[in-house]
Structure 1
Amino acid sequence: MMDTRRDFIKKSSMLGLAGALSPIEKLISTSEEINMKNKEQTKWLDGSRLIVSISMQFEAGGQPVNSESPFPQNMQKGYVDLPAETWYNYGYKEGIPRMLDNWDRLGVKVTSHMVGSAVLKNPSLAKEIVQRGHEAAAHGMNWDTQYMMSYDQEKKFIKDGADAIKNITGFSPVGYNANWLRRGENTLKILQELGFLYHIDDVSRDEPFIIDVNTKDFAVVPYTIRCNDIVLIEGKQFSVDQFFNQVKREFDQLFVESQHKRRMLSISFHDRIGGTPQIVNATSELITYIKNHHGVSFRRKDEIAKMTLEDKTSVRE
């Protein structure tokens, strides 16, 4: 224990002399010394050091009447919250178009989790998302609570949503996201039966992994509630600047760990929140910062799932 402590003090002193190093460089230097004997292969199948996975939820237009919104939840029974409806409308009128332009400027492709009824209400926008090179993933037919459904009801619910996306955009969804991640006991079996490759309703890891569903491999591409605009910003916890710093610090730590371990940064944006001017502005700055790090790539979730399923070194559970 004494030798270990002396080594630690020595290393700390050496780092103290490197006052010109940035905080992230100091973290990297420390990690390199501590893990210099660890030569485990950690690169992704495509050679990336770290992969960034971005979600863009396409939900506006598919919400039920009087859904939760920033307005006080004090509407009298029997009346429609008309101002709240306009908040949701912002998602497809302004939010997604602004984010799409930003992704193009940044050269980034994302995964859009699409609610079937939202796609049917705004078909041209759904088509545009796919035409710009982004993935269309299924997000249910509407906002119904699927974990309470019977097997047959849930299978129809999932298939109807996926069919709506396919019929409108021509893209066959292979990924799935349940409303608020709350899938049921039959969800994964149904997804496997319907030909899906992965789901995201899991926050247990910072890298994708493989599970067995119906005696076949099925990928899990973890989601995030830590780097999620609806949880942090709309949940009234963070300002835009705080959100920026939260995600930046998440990236900085994962980038250090990615020297010796497969790492993935997940970020989530919702049409009516992440598409506001202030968040798009902050996102542009954040993505530019991330892209300045060597070995970092941005991948759609279907690409991540396929790499995971093909990679013999992927984590299995």
Structure 2
Amino acid sequence: MKDRRTFIKEAGLAGLAGLLPVNILSASDLEIDKAFKNSNPNAKWADGSRLVVSVSMQFEAGGQPVNAESPFPQNMQKGFIDLPGDSWYQYGYKEGIPRMLDNWDKLGIKVTSHMVGSAALKNPDLAKEIVARGHEAAAHGMDWATQYSMPYETEKKIIKDGADAIKKVTGFEPVGYNANWLRRGTNTLEILQELGFKYHIDDLSRDEPFLLKVKGKDFAVVPYTIRCNDIVLIEGKNFSADQFVRQVILEFDQLYKESEKKRRQMSISFHDRIGGTPQMVAATTEIISYIQKHKGVSFKRKDEIARMAYEDKSIIRE
């Protein structure tokens, strides 16, 4: 039996329209067909990789607002500070990131660290160490701002301030961006392009990078994940560490099969106070060690993936 992509390619949308009643071809069908036309099912990674894995290490602890969400009940009375909740965040920069950094070295991979500007300013030595160990410093706003509701200039300021803070502390100029909970606004991409950014990750629509046109110029999208993400699965109380391992390995196995015929990217995301716990670092070691046993898999920072997207003539364009 042919899959839908093959059927549409062979029959063509016009031929399909002639075979089916008009009311069957919905707007969603047309959007799906448009997506198929914009894809390149035979494209591979230009450097010869069979599958590229992108790992995120979010550096947020220390930049959170007062009484931010934590594992504790959200029932603090007004005027008081959630001290145990605050200590949960402190774990991220006191234990979590240092433990993950040692583990990345042990595993021999480089990651992308999206840093909240105020978190980097609060722990400058740790931010410097991340870059010194060869990892990418990417921007994550100045603080936990709800930027999608901001006027253009206000949003531009919080993005720029965060990036400037990272560069001031680490010497690394961020070219990638991640909005708070991925919730960018309608102006965000234009602002990022204006500020010199090269890519963003606030998109879940594909399992490979692609290019958008923003004011007539190319802008890269390096897709993120909520499926293989510790804050959703572990802190969301949905999974245990061993279930997380199983989930991510299942994801890898399927993408690895698909990568035999087309370009595939796998994303995995860890947060300082969650992914840096002993059990999760052990789980991460099991996952990465399993992936590394497969031929043709490479681990790349997101700035490297974006650079490859710009240089690849077969990249998907939307």
TM-score normalised by the shorter chain: which range applies?
0.7 to 0.9
Structure 1 residue matching 2:206: 3-state secondary structure: coil
Aligned residue runs from structure 1 range 154-193, under 5 A? 154-193=155-194
Kindly indicate whether the alpha-carbon contact (under 8 Å) linking 1:50 and 1:296 is maintained by their aligned counterparts in 2: yes
Instruction: Indicate the residue corresponding to 1:212 in structure 2.
Output: 213
CA distance in 1, matches of 2:163, 2:48: 32
Q: Which string of whole-angstrom CA distances, capped at 9 and with x for unpartnered residues, describes residues 96-119 of structure 1?
A: 000000000000000000000000
Aligned residue runs from structure 1 range 109-120, under 5 A? 109-120=110-121
Instruction: Indicate the residue corresponding to 2:149 in structure 1.
Output: 148
Structure 1 residue matching 2:57: 3-state secondary structure: strand
Aligned residue runs from structure 1 range 286-301, under 5 A? 286-301=287-302
Kindly indicate whether the alpha-carbon contact (under 8 Å) linking 1:224 and 1:267 is maintained by their aligned counterparts in 2: yes
Instruction: Indicate the residue corresponding to 1:32 in structure 2.
Output: none
CA distance in 2, matches of 1:209, 1:41: 15
Structure 2 residue matching 1:226: 3-state secondary structure: coil
Q: CA offset at residue 42 of structure 1?
A: 3.4
- TM-score (normalised: structure 1): 0.87
Kindly indicate whether the alpha-carbon contact (under 8 Å) linking 1:42 and 1:49 is maintained by their aligned counterparts in 2: no
Instruction: Please give the root-mean-square deviation of Cα atoms over the aligned residues, in Å.
Output: 1.3
CA distance in 2, matches of 1:42, 1:221: 16
CA distance in 2, matches of 1:285, 1:43: 27
Q: Letter of the 2:266 partner, please give it.
A: L
Q: CA offset at residue 214 of structure 1?
A: 1.6
Aligned-residue sequence identity (percent) comes to 77
Aligned residue runs from structure 1 range 230-241, under 5 A? 230-241=231-242
Q: CA offset at residue 41 of structure 1?
A: 4.5
Q: CA offset at residue 78 of structure 1?
A: 1.1
- TM-score (normalised: structure 2): 0.87
CA distance in 2, matches of 1:272, 1:74: 21
Instruction: Indicate the residue corresponding to 1:249 in structure 2.
Output: 250
Q: Which string of whole-angstrom CA distances, capped at 9 and with x for unpartnered residues, describes residues 192-237 of structure 1?
A: 0111000000000000000001211000000000000000000000
Q: Letter of the 2:148 partner, please give it.
A: Y
CA distance in 2, matches of 1:229, 1:127: 24
Kindly indicate whether the alpha-carbon contact (under 8 Å) linking 2:43 and 2:315 is maintained by their aligned counterparts in 1: no
CA distance in 1, matches of 2:47, 2:143: 35
Kindly indicate whether the alpha-carbon contact (under 8 Å) linking 1:206 and 1:263 is maintained by their aligned counterparts in 2: yes
Q: CA offset at residue 43 of structure 1?
A: 2.5
Aligned residue runs from structure 1 range 57-72, under 5 A? 57-72=58-73
Q: Which string of whole-angstrom CA distances, capped at 9 and with x for unpartnered residues, describes residues 263-293 of structure 1?
A: 0000000000000000000100110100000
Q: Letter of the 1:70 partner, please give it.
A: P
Instruction: Indicate the residue corresponding to 1:48 in structure 2.
Output: 49
CA distance in 2, matches of 1:42, 1:157: 37
CA distance in 2, matches of 1:310, 1:201: 21
Q: Letter of the 1:81 partner, please give it.
A: D
Q: Letter of the 1:186 partner, please give it.
A: N
Q: Which string of whole-angstrom CA distances, capped at 9 and with x for unpartnered residues, describes residues 58-100 of structure 1?
A: 0000000000000111111111000000000000000000000
Structure 2 residue matching 1:173: 3-state secondary structure: coil
CA distance in 2, matches of 1:93, 1:148: 33
Kindly report structure 1 stretches of 4+ aligned residues shifted beyond 2 Å.
Answer: 40-43
CA distance in 2, matches of 1:204, 1:176: 17
Instruction: Indicate the residue corresponding to 2:103 in structure 1.
Output: 102
Gaps of 5+ in 2: 2-40
Count of paired positions: 281
Structure 1 residue matching 2:213: 3-state secondary structure: strand
Structure 1 residue matching 2:208: 3-state secondary structure: coil
